[in-house]
Chain A
């Protein structure tokens, strides 16, 4: 059984998607149990897979029994083993937390929503697990199409934002496809490892250079890397909370994974960092991304939109870290994929809970929430601390590696940007805490205040949220183990 984990990882959610779709027409109450079971199996398989990788090294799975490069192969190493666990667990936690709000927001379309949801998870898992450059494109499109659908089911502006995302996403995916085409035309292969094997003699070729740049631009578009980020804030803001709390943590992070996979496996760091003198340009772009993301977030008076700009800044962290071209930076970027997925999940679940109870997420709607929803806000504080980068929450540790990498690369601009963004995050979040904590102001100095009744979100929403908050701290405390046992092996030894 264990050697079939890679296949199970994708097939189980895929088949369950069809089952849910059919169940929607037969008996709607079956949908939720099916999706939870399927995602639990996925989490189990992904953890099993990661353990197998830790024990025995890289796992290669031949789909259809055809060995690569003839057939498509799954290729699981420490890098995607880790990301798989993150994707699977985020999806599971989110679906449990989102059940109530899904039922509240679309009482009659819950089944198709769950179907799209799990199809998206399938797509993301497939992107992460695959070892075939073209297969990645197909799954990219599944994740994207479901994403358009999920994001469009929001408030009034959601459709327009989602359509804009569709345009940008399609350009991004097409660029990636074109880059793969360029690789194909010079190597004749589509398997990542095979391409990596065939490429070294071709490093001087203009086509390889072009393939690399085009792929990168495509992936950047998809991950909303500055200045290609314009679609993201609106698309994520106007979506329903169940959709945005799945998409916001995962999509950009998975795309960062794709970028790292391209750099590390397909093109190899020697080519990406040595042959081309692009590093510096990209890191400076990342610096601008971080600074702009932070500043644009400051300008927002709307919690959810503010968080989306933080995502833009966080993407800058990861891209910049990966492009520093050293081990510490890359470690930071990979670690930040994990951490950022978790902390974004945390804050977006909080938004979900707030929307469920307060029906709004503008700053004015947040007054007095510390008293009203103490558990939700407690988790929010943990998530915010993580985004700010306060130990022992996990956000600090990836930031540490990123700063270390920047110091080792001598890139002080990036260090400054990271510190700046931390400081701005303090302002951003404490501005919200202040509103939740102080307002509405009472005239008589808070004494003899008639305590507002507690009005917490349902248990089903709060418990997963608290679990995420605890995970944020645990991941922080176990950073040493994650880095030493997993990420260390995910980065090729050539990268110092």
Chain B
């Protein structure tokens, strides 16, 4: 297999090298890619959509349709991980561990036994490490700022690098950080599985719904200029707002998918304990 792999690799590589001879040199401003379409986007983005970040206007408006499916890809990935891994019905683990908060004594219970509800005991993972005060505290401090920054990135995608994807990932990371620094159960308390699973399609639906709204208002799908009549602004500003609505949807979808995938993969679908 290795030799076959090597031969295939070398042949493919040689073929690609052969083809690359005809390519324009690197950073050539006169290459077709730089002269044919891209000037239109650069020169008209502000006029058409009043979004200074050309990547954003291109992403969410000119090629907004691609991006909608991109978001759908994310949603799909989350769903596939869920459907593959989630063990529903939650088989009870063989043993569960509880820790007496005051004394630090760990109690191991066999299947079927339960500990009476009380403030003194907390459930812990199989591989339990003593809580690190520094990590827990600093994470708890950082998470709000991370989330704030995520929101900023989403909101500011119009005029600086950023947007729904980046912001969504940051927001998702904040929850994942919580799961890592504390444990999965804590994170799940903050954001339950059902919430994640419902928010995710809702996020994508916001995107697709915005497009459908345009369609219902009598123009083509995703033609945000139609929103002008709803938002009472001029069509160009409407496009800008439309892009923003869409970015919010993307942000929600990406955030929840990140959490969803993490939850499923880290607990192998059992949702009882994470990494």
Contacts and interface: CB of A to CB of B under 8 A. Distances in A.
Check whether chain A touches chain B (CB < 8 angstroms). Answer: yes
Interface of A: 4, 7, 11, 14-15, 17-19, 21-22, 24-25, 61-66, 69-72, 108-109, 112-113, 115-116, 119, 122, 126, 132, 134-135, 138-139, 141-142, 145-146, 148-149, 152-153, 159, 182, 184-190, 198, 205-207, 209-211, 213
B220 A65 contact: yes
15 contacts: A11-B208, A11-B211, A11-B215, A19-B205, A22-B202, A63-B65, A65-B220, A70-B62, A115-B79, A135-B69, A145-B80, A148-B80, A149-B79, A149-B80, A188-B38
Interface in B156-197: 194, 197
B215 A7 contact: yes
Which of A70, A132, A148 has its CB near the most chain B CB atoms (within 10 A)?
Answer: A70
Interface string B19-31: 1111110000001
B37 A188 contact: yes
SS of A interface (majority) = helix
Contacts of A115: 79
A64 B89 contact: no
Contacts of B221: 4, 7, 11, 63-64
Given A11-B215, A11-B221, A186 B32 contact: yes
B226 to A, nearest CB: 8
Given A21-B79, A112-B79, A210-B18, 14 more contacts: A11-B211, A15-B205, A15-B212, A18-B75, A21-B200, A65-B220, A65-B223, A70-B62, A71-B62, A108-B88, A115-B79, A138-B73, A148-B80, A188-B37
Contacts of A141: 73
A182 B224 CA distance: 32
B66 A134 contact: yes
Given A15-B212, A188-B35, A188-B36, A142 B16 contact: no
Given A71-B62, A138-B73, A187-B32, A11 B84 contact: no
Given A188-B37, A188-B38, A145 B62 contact: no
Contacts of A139: 69
A231 B61 CA distance: 38
A184 B84 CA distance: 37
B84 A152 contact: yes
Interface in B48-89: 61-66, 68-70, 72-73, 75-77, 79-80, 82-84, 86, 88-89
A123 to B, nearest CB: 8
Contacts of B274: none
